[in-house]
């Protein structure tokens, strides 16, 4: 399974999954149709699935346009988002599975940013592969999504669930927020040397206009304060601020 990161709008990333043998593709959180259609044309691939993580327009904005172009497309989303995702046909819950390009993906219910947010985790099937996590706006590189509909308790539970995934899992989050997130992270975790080094690297990456996504679960566990909330030294520092 090949993964293409497609920039959209000001900070969004759309992820196109490609099966070169079958010449088919799936897309995760298509904000806009044009980047997806351009990539499909270059690959000579046919779109067969849309995997939505939640109902916000910058994640589902292209659903209907893509359905018009590819009427056979199946649109997936969370069961709690019934009626809120355009064109949705499959209503997923925790423990359900999806499949693409010979890989099976686990559906994780991760509310907090919205009440119906889900994520898709594709475990590796070969020794030379990494797991692939498509987490929408729940977990960001260096941060997490804002609480629009969910509760802090839900978000903590959701982030704790993602933190349990294997360290070498790729984190494909849907926005390029990493630099701002890490600058904030340093204000609450100043003594974290791994965080200091990562911020320096990300500054250089962004100066070159390069993407910082994907991250990995291992990197996030070392440097993301929202995956380190229960580390005693950091928790005490936050409490005293």
Catalytic residues: 54, 56, 58-59, 113, 137, 175
Q: How far apart are CA 44 and CA 67, in angstroms?
A: 17
Could you list the beta-strand ranges (E) of 9-149: 12-19, 24-28, 46-51, 74-78, 90-92, 97-100, 103-109, 118-122, 132-136, 139-140, 143-144
Q: How far apart are CA 114 and CA 86, in angstroms?
A: 16
User: Radius of gyration (Cα) for the chain, nearest Å?
Assistant: 18
DSSP alpha helices (H): ranges in the chain?
33-43, 57-60, 63-69, 152-163, 178-188, 193-207, 217-223, 232-240
Q: How far apart are CA 80 and CA 121, in angstroms?
A: 19
| Closest CA relative to residue 16, chosen from 2, 190, 225 | 2
Q: Which two tokens stand for residue 200?
A: 């320096």
Q: How far apart are CA 175 and CA 8, in angstroms?
A: 9
Residues 220 and 227 sit within 8 Å (Cβ to Cβ) = yes
């Amino acid at each position: 399974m090949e993964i293409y990161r497609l920039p959209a709008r000001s900070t969004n990333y759309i992820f196109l999954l490609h099966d070169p043998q079958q010449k088919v593709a799936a897309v995760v959180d298509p904000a806009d149709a044009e980047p997806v259609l351009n990539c499909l044309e270059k690959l000579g691939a046919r779109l067969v699935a849309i995997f939505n993580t939640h109902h916000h327009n910058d994640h589902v904005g292209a659903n209907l346009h893509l359905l018009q172009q590819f009427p056979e497309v199946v649109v997936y989303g969370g069961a709690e988002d019934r009626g809120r995702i355009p064109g949705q046909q499959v209503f997923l819950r925790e423990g359900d599975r999806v499949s693409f390009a010979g890989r099976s993906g686990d559906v994780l219910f991760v509310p907090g940013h919205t009440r119906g947010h889900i994520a898709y985790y594709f475990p590796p099937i070969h020794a030379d592969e990494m797991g692939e996590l498509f987490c929408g706006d729940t977990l960001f590189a260096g941060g997490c999504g804002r609480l629009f509909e969910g509760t802090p308790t839900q978000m903590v539970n959701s982030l704790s669930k993602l933190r349990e995934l294997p360290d070498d899992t790729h984190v494909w989050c849907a926005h390029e927020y990493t630099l701002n997130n890490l600058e904030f992270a340093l204000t609450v975790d100043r003594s974290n040397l791994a965080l200091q080094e990562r911020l320096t690297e990300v500054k250089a990456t962004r100066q070159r206009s390069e993407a910082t996504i994907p991250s990995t679960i291992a990197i996030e566990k070392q440097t993301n304060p929202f995956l380190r909330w229960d580390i005693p030294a950091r928790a005490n520092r936050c409490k005293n601020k």
